[in-house]
Amino acid sequence: MSTKRDFYEILGVSKTSSQDEIKKAYRKVAMQYHPDRNPGNKEAEEHFKEAAEAYEVLSDPDKRAQYDRFGHAGMGNRGGHGGNMNMDDIFSNFGDIFGEDIFGSFFGGGGRGGGGGSRRGRGTRGSNLRVKIKLNFEEIAKGANKKIKVKKHVTCTTCSGLGAKDKNAFQTCTTCQGSGQVRKVTQTFLGQMQTVTTCPTCNGEGQIITNKCSSCKGEGRQYGEETVSIDIPAGVMEGMQLSMSGKGNAGERGGAPGDLLILIEEEPHPELQRDGLNVAYDLYISFPDAAFGTQVEVPTIDGKAKIKVPPGTQSGKIFRLKGKGFPSVNSYEKGDQLIHVNVWTPQTLTSEEKSMLEKLQDSGNFKPNPEKSEKGFFEKVKDIFS
C-alpha cells in the first residue's frame, strides 16, 4: 500500500477547508520550504515538492473529491509533482496562485536560477485529456494493464518543443527586458503603488522567437498520437476517475504537459451483479432439490465454484462465499459472493402433476411452520450488510 502522507496533513488543513484556506496553507508551506530559503537542504526540497503535489490535487474540485473517496489509490498512475515533475514545472504551474510570482517577488526575484533575475516562463501548460476505459469483472478484481492510443498534441520532434528553428532563433523581449513581467508605478492618495503584470509582448517568457520552427509554426508541439500504458489498480468502481500526470496535451514552447484523466466503466456481467465490494448471484433451484438437497455449480468472478444446498433449504436463503468479491481499492478489505436461493414454483402443471401435489397438500410436512430461529427477510438483509 501507499506510504504517502495525507494531503490534508501536508498542508495543515482539514477536509472541510475551503479553497481559499487551502491556497493560503499552500502559500505558507511553499514559503517555509522554498529552496531559496533552504539552499542545499534536500529534505526541505522534498517537503516543497510534497506540498505542491498535495495542492495540485486539493485545489482541483474533481481530483479532491476523488481523493476524499479513495485516498491515494484513487489517484491511479499519477505521479504528482513530487514524483514526475521537476522544480521548474512546479514553479511554472503554481507560481500564479499568489497573484504575483511568489518565487520571484518574495525571494528577491531569484527564482530557481538564484542569480538575481526574475524567473522566465516556460511556455503555456497543456490541457488535460479525458478517456474512458471499460473493464470486465475479472479485470476489476485483479487489476489490469491497458495500452491505449491517445490522439493529442505531442512535443514537436523537429525543434524538441522550443518552437524555434534553433537555440539561436531567440531575442530578449524589449518590452520587459527579459523578465517576463511589466511593472507599473501609479500615484494614489496613499502614495505610490506598484503593480506587476505578465508581459503582453512575450506572454511572460522573457524572449521572442525570431525564426519559428517550420514544422510546428512556433508552437513547440504538433497533433499526433501516443500509446499510453495504464496500470489499473484492483477494486476500481464505475465512475471512478484515475489520473496520469503529464500524459495529457503537450504544452506550448516547453510548457508542462497536462494530465490524462481515465474514467472507469464497468462491463455488465451476464450472471453476476456488483454491490459495492460484494458480488450477488441469484440461484434458482427446483422444489425437489430444495427438499432433498443438492450440489450445484455457481459462477464466480474468476471461474466456477461448487456449493452444497442442504435438505429443506427455504427460498430466500443466502449463502456466502467468503473473499469471493472485489478487493477494496484503498485497503486490504475484500468482499464476498452472496448467493440468493430462489425455489422455483412451476407455473404450469399437467393433470398428473396436479394430482400428485393435491395428495401432498394436506400433509403436515407441507404446511408452513417456520422455526423461531429462522430469520426473516429484513434480518437476512441486515446480516448481509453487517
Contact 34, 90 (CB under 8 A): no
What pTM was estimated for this model as a whole? 0.63
Residue type, 37: R
Contact 24, 11 (CB under 8 A): no
Give CA–CA dist 289/307, Å, rounded.
13
Region at 249 (left for phi over 0; alpha for psi -120 to 50; beta for the rest): beta
Contact 295, 306 (CB under 8 A): yes
Residue with cell 500564479: 96
Q: What is the rounded distance in angstroms from the CA atom of residue 216 to the CA atom of residue 213? A: 6
Distance (Å, whole) CA 205 – CA 120: 5
- Measure the N-to-C terminal CA separation of the chain; round to a whole number of Å: 26
What is the C-alpha to C-alpha distance for residues 34 and 112, in angstroms, rounded to an integer?
A: 10
Region of 307 (left: φ > 0; alpha: ψ -120 to 50; beta: rest) is beta
Q: What pLDDT does 105 receive?
A: 43
Q: What are phi and psi of 218, to 5 degrees?
A: 95, -5
Task: Going from the first residue of the chain to its last (386 residues), give the mean pLDDT of each consecutive group of 10, the final group possibly shorter.
Answer: 78 91 90 82 87 89 82 60 52 52 43 40 82 95 94 92 88 89 81 83 86 91 93 92 90 89 94 95 94 95 94 93 92 92 91 86 78 62 58
Q: In a 10 Å sphere around its CB, with 0-12 CB exposed, 13-18 middle and 19+ buried, how is residue 100 labelled? A: middle
In what helix (H) or strand (E) does residue 277 lie, and over which residues does it extend? none
DSSP string, 101-149: -HHHHTTTT-TTTTSSSPPPP--BPPPPEEEEEEE-HHHHHH-EEEEEE
